[in-house]
Amino acid sequence: MRSLELRPCTWRNVSIFLVFLNPPGGEMLRATIPLDWEGLETAVERNSPDIESFLERGSGQVLTIIKGEPEAAHLSAKISANIEAYLRVEPASSREQYRWMERFVASVVDEPLRKRLLISIDGKGAFRRFKDVLLAYPTERERWFSYRSNLLHWHIQNWLASHEIVSSIAAPWGVVEEPEELAAADEEVGEAPVAAPGEAMRREARELVDSLAPMDLPSAISFLEFLKNKGVSVEDELPAALPTRPTIVR
C-alpha cells in the first residue's frame, strides 16, 4: 500500500505542506534521466588532472572540460553558475586501473609474455608500454579489453547507484555483475603466484614501516602523505577512449 508523506516548507513567506505519495515499502519514487552512456563511459575512463567531466542531472548529458581548450572557460562558467544542476563524474583512479593491469598480468598463462608484461608495467609510462607489448598478442589484447571494460562498467554502475541516479535508457552493456577475480596463471598449476612489481614493493614498504621505531613513524607518515598528495599524471598512459572492439594491428 502506498503512503502519504507531508513535508513542511516555506513559499513566499507562507508556511505550507507538500504531499508526497510513496510507493509500497516507504521508498520515494526516483526520477529517471536519459543518460548519455557513451559520454559517461569516456568520462569514467579518463583520469587526467587536465580533464574534468560533469553529469547534468536533468538531461543526463556529460560535459567535459579540457584545460587549454577554447570552450573550457565557457563550460566552467556554465557549470559554476548552476552548480547544483551538475554532478562531477568520478573516474576510476590511476592506482585502481594500475591494479587491474597487475591482476591481468598475473593471469597470463604464456610465461615469456607474462614476464614481458611484468617488466612493462614497472615505472612511469606503464600503461603505454603494457599496451605496446599486447599489440603483438591479439588474443590476450582482446581479453584485456574485455576484462577492463567489465571493471569500468562495474565502476559506473556503483557510482550511479551511490548517487541514486536511474537512467530511462538501459546501458548498452546491460546490468553488470561484480567481476570475478582473475586466477593467477601459476596458481592453476600449483605453483606460487607471481607478484607484480607494484605488489612486491607495497609489501616491502609495509615491512619497512613495521620495522621503524615509534618516534620515527610521524616522519614516515608525513613523507608518505606527501607522495600520495603529489599524485600521478596518467595523461600519457591511459587511452582517450575505450574501443568497443580492439583493432588488431598486424
Q: pLDDT tens track of the chain, all 250 residues?
A: 445 555 555 554 545 544 444 545 544 445 689 999 999 999 999 888 899 999 999 999 999 999 999 999 999 999 999 999 999 999 988 889 999 999 999 999 999 999 999 999 988 889 999 999 999 999 999 999 999 999 999 999 999 999 999 999 999 999 989 888 888 776 543 444 445 555 556 666 776 777 777 777 788 888 887 777 765 444 344 444 444 444 444 3
Last residue in a domain, options 40, 57, 88: 88
Expressed as residue numbers, the domain containing 105 is 94-201
> In this structure, is residue 123 part of a structural domain?
yes
Give one DSSP letter per residue of 50-76, joined into a string.
TEEEEEETTT--EEEEETTSTTHHHHH
Q: How many CB atoms lie within 10 A of CB 230?
A: 7
Tell me, what's the pLDDT at 237? 43
> In this structure, is residue 44 part of a structural domain?
yes
> In this structure, is residue 210 part of a structural domain?
no
Q: Are residues 76 and 167 in the same domain?
A: no
Contact between residue 91 and residue 43 where contact means Cβ atoms under 8 Å apart: yes
User: What cell was used for 96?
Assistant: 585502481
Q: Are residues 60 and 149 in the same domain?
A: no
Place of cell 562498467: 153
> In this structure, is residue 41 part of a structural domain?
yes
Sheet holding 62-66, edge to edge: 62-66, 51-56, 86-88
Closest CA to 57 of 96, 85, 22, 23: 85
SS3 state at 33 = strand
> In this structure, is residue 174 part of a structural domain?
yes
Q: Are residues 76 and 132 in the same domain?
A: no
Query: What are the CA-CA distances from residue 64 to residues 2, 145, 234 (Å)?
Result: 40, 24, 17
**Beta strands in 107-229, from DSSP E residues, in sequence order:** 166-167
Domain count, the chain: 2
Q: Are residues 42 and 98 in the same domain?
A: no
Q: Are residues 133 and 101 in the same domain?
A: yes
Q: How many CB atoms lie within 10 A of CB 152?
A: 21
> In this structure, is residue 1 part of a structural domain?
no
Q: Are residues 101 and 196 in the same domain?
A: yes
CA angle, residues 56, 28, 170, in degrees to nearest 5 = 50
> In this structure, is residue 21 part of a structural domain?
no
Task: Determine the Cα–Cα distance for residues 175 and 159; give it in Å rounded to an integer.
Answer: 14
Q: Are residues 100 and 164 in the same domain?
A: yes
Last residue in a domain, options 53, 88, 123: 88
Last residue in a domain, options 185, 201, 217: 201
Task: Determine the Cα–Cα distance for residues 144 and 105; give it in Å rounded to an integer.
Answer: 9
Closest CA to 246 of 129, 80, 134: 134
> In this structure, is residue 81 part of a structural domain?
yes
Q: Are residues 38 and 99 in the same domain?
A: no
Q: Are residues 189 and 110 in the same domain?
A: yes
Q: Are residues 120 and 67 in the same domain?
A: no
Tell me, what's the pLDDT at 245? 41
Q: Are residues 65 and 110 in the same domain?
A: no
